[in-house]
Structure 1
Amino acid sequence: MEVLRHLRLLTKLTNVRQASSEATRPLKVLTKHFDEVSIPVPWGHIAGKWYGPKHVRPIVGMHGWQDNAGTFDTLAPLLPNHISFLSIDMPGHGLSSWLPPGISYHSIDYVLVTRRLMEEYNWDKISMMAHSMSSINGFVFCALFPEKVDMFIGLDVLKPPVRSARHIVDGLSERLEATLKLERRLRSGSEPPCYEWDELEKRLHEGSNKSVTLESCKYLLQRNCKASTHEPHKYYFSRDNRLKTSLFYTLHNEVPLEMASRIKCPHLFIKALQAPYYERKEYYDATLVELRKNPLFEYNELDGTHHVHLNEPEKVAPIINSFINKYRPL
């Protein structure tokens, strides 16, 4: 029922946006059908968009931090027609349930979400395509459960970034304090700041360091905003604000190296050259050396921002499709 309520709201938002000011950008019509799905979890549900037949085990698409299933809206129609594709919203993102009050988000929880997904659908193995935060979690999943993965495609972030001890300790204290502050704000029940549609796009664009183009913002905003109840024609970001204080992996450099050595599945990684490495390059390069010991590992670089798969899917699709056709053929 919660998913249906959200879908009705999204339909309403679409109609309002298309009929409002001339400045409103019309939504691009997708060329591939999908069904909204709701996957039960102990605290609620995981929402997703299922492209293709339900009897075919899908490649599971997993998005980056504070993004949602819309991150694959432009790429999904370009994937091979013989496969199914399930793009999900992680907890607290998109149309998926938030974690209960008093619970913090942690990277390892998303790894467990992947196992929950497999149990719900009775899959012995999983195929994954993951961007950014989820690419990190996919790397971890492949290392922890190498026998359960038959294909992994990582986009732009290779592995859990290695940080200095000072950075880790300072970051933990700051995030824990910020968590309490956010919880107080949530208890107040006040509506978040609201914006006109164009301003909402601008904020998402600039908040991503302009990685998401203004034209591409609409794909993420469809599952990431709600209409204001107080200010007509204005919207607010509807993801769980506690995501801003998420707790991430705090690992010594030897841990990602050990993880890399355990990944045995077909593994494609695509690095966007206009995106940062998010850590010292020496750590990144050392992990690449370890990953290349896997004969099924493929590495590609291409021009584009962190969200190149969303902005310019025509650049990414040929690389991904070649890999899919090699390891998930018709």
Structure 2
Amino acid sequence: MAELKSDVRNIVGTTTITELKIPVPWGHIAAKTWGDSSCFPILCLHGEVDNAATFDRLIPLLPQQFYYMSIDLPGHGHSSHYLPGIPYKFIDYVAVLRRIVDHFSWAKINILGHDLGGLLGLFFAAVYPDKIMKLIVFDVIHPVLPRQHLINHIKLNNEHLLSIETDEAVPQVFSYQTLYEKLCSWRAKDSSVAAIDASISRNAEQVADGSYLLTMDQRVRYINYPFFDDRQFHIILKNLRCELLIFTAKGIARNQNILPVTSLLYIFRYKCARFEHHIIEGNCDIHLNFPTRLVPIMASFLQEIRSSL
């Protein structure tokens, strides 16, 4: 089945922006694209409690010889929700990426990922190393949870999910200010106005009285991650073969949850076809707040062709 294209098309410079709906068994994956679909694809993956709009300020500044597709992960943005009672699992999101690649019959892709999206990119590149050419990630979530916290984490996660099912029985309608404050509390503490506005733009709809209906599935606040120990995580990452570019924002407020790149340098340097790590001034949404700080490095990384590939 072909993807469904909306009638909404915008032009930024010479780049066409198109909204798509990619069919999946439970509904559709929503996406917005930039550029010519015949060009080499770059799949763009957002972070927690976010959506495809997170890359709106970055992608127009990047090299235009690529086809950029920014998706709303299931439960986020304009994408379909899972059925009631079904939790969102990180590993299922990896399968969603494979569905998208297969839908478009892409032999190889590049991936651009922030936060949760960066971790998804790393896992997809490790599980399907033959599918990924280049991977660019910002502030990747660290999936290793200390063993002493595991039981309590599972308990709290389950209780939150059950509570949300009760809450969502009633339409979640808020003033802009209340919704803004809620999203701030659900995201990183140092989220910017631009980041929250981007989240609201696809995770809520304005209704007749000027208030906002939350359309994002609140269950995505409690995604089930496969919390590995360091040894297991390293085994997975040792299957990486792609070129890898990692950005870490210097001023991020939750450094304890960000991938400890220093402990993985050996793996990245000796397993990846190419590896770069850059520490950039900014916060957790540097790609949205200060995209020009990233663009020269990203453009060089994307455009350079290595003979080994």
The two structures have a TM-score, normalised by structure 1, of: 0.83
Q: Cα distance 1:255–1:180, how it changes in 2: closer, same or farther (>3 A)?
A: same
| Residue 181 (structure 1) aligns with | 163
Instruction: Give RMSD over aligned pairs.
Output: 2.6
Q: Cα distance 1:212–1:324, how it changes in 2: closer, same or farther (>3 A)?
A: same
SS at 1:33 equivalent:
strand
Q: Does 1:323 align with 2:283?
A: no
| Residue 191 (structure 1) aligns with | 171
Q: Measure the CA separation in 2 of the matches of 1:161 and 1:93.
A: 21
Matched to 2:155, the amino acid is S
Unaligned runs of 5+ residues in structure 1 are 9-28
Matched to 2:105, the amino acid is N
Q: Measure the CA separation in 2 of the matches of 1:192 and 1:307.
A: 26
Is the CA contact 1:140–1:259 (under 8 Å) kept in the aligned structure 2? yes
Stretch moving more, 63-72 or 212-221: 212-221
Corresponding residue pairs, total: 300
Matched to 1:93, the amino acid is H
Q: Does 1:264 align with 2:241?
A: yes
Q: Does 1:40 align with 2:23?
A: yes
Deviation for aligned residue 1:42: 0.8
SS at 2:20 equivalent:
strand
| Residue 95 (structure 2) aligns with | 112
Matched to 1:326, the amino acid is E
Matched to 1:163, the amino acid is L
Tell me which of 296, 316, 325 is aligned to 2:274. 296
Is the CA contact 2:135–2:244 (under 8 Å) kept in the aligned structure 1? yes
Q: Measure the CA separation in 2 of the matches of 1:257 and 1:292.
A: 13
SS at 1:270 equivalent:
strand
| Residue 17 (structure 1) aligns with | none
Matched to 1:324, the amino acid is L
Matched to 1:319, the amino acid is I
The structure 1 segments of at least 4 consecutive aligned residues displaced by more than 4 Å after TM superposition are 29-32
Q: Percent identity?
A: 30
Q: Does 1:167 align with 2:149?
A: yes
Unaligned runs of 5+ residues in structure 2 are none
Q: Measure the CA separation in 2 of the matches of 1:176 and 1:277.
A: 26
Is the CA contact 1:163–1:279 (under 8 Å) kept in the aligned structure 2? no
Q: Measure the CA separation in 1 of the matches of 2:206 and 2:303.
A: 42
Q: Measure the CA separation in 2 of the matches of 1:200 and 1:30.
A: 29
The two structures have a TM-score, normalised by structure 2, of: 0.89
Is the CA contact 1:225–1:235 (under 8 Å) kept in the aligned structure 2? yes
Q: Cα distance 1:165–1:215, how it changes in 2: closer, same or farther (>3 A)?
A: closer
Q: Cα distance 1:43–1:327, how it changes in 2: closer, same or farther (>3 A)?
A: farther
Tell me which of 283, 294, 300 is aligned to 1:305. 283
Q: Measure the CA separation in 2 of the matches of 1:123 and 1:107.
A: 22
Deviation for aligned residue 1:240: 0.2
Q: Measure the CA separation in 2 of the matches of 1:209 and 1:253.
A: 24
Is the CA contact 2:126–2:236 (under 8 Å) kept in the aligned structure 1? yes
Q: Cα distance 1:279–1:317, how it changes in 2: closer, same or farther (>3 A)?
A: same
Deviation for aligned residue 1:327: 4.0
Matched to 1:167, the amino acid is H
Q: Does 1:77 align with 2:56?
A: no
Tell me which of 241, 248, 252 is aligned to 2:218. 241
| Residue 14 (structure 1) aligns with | none
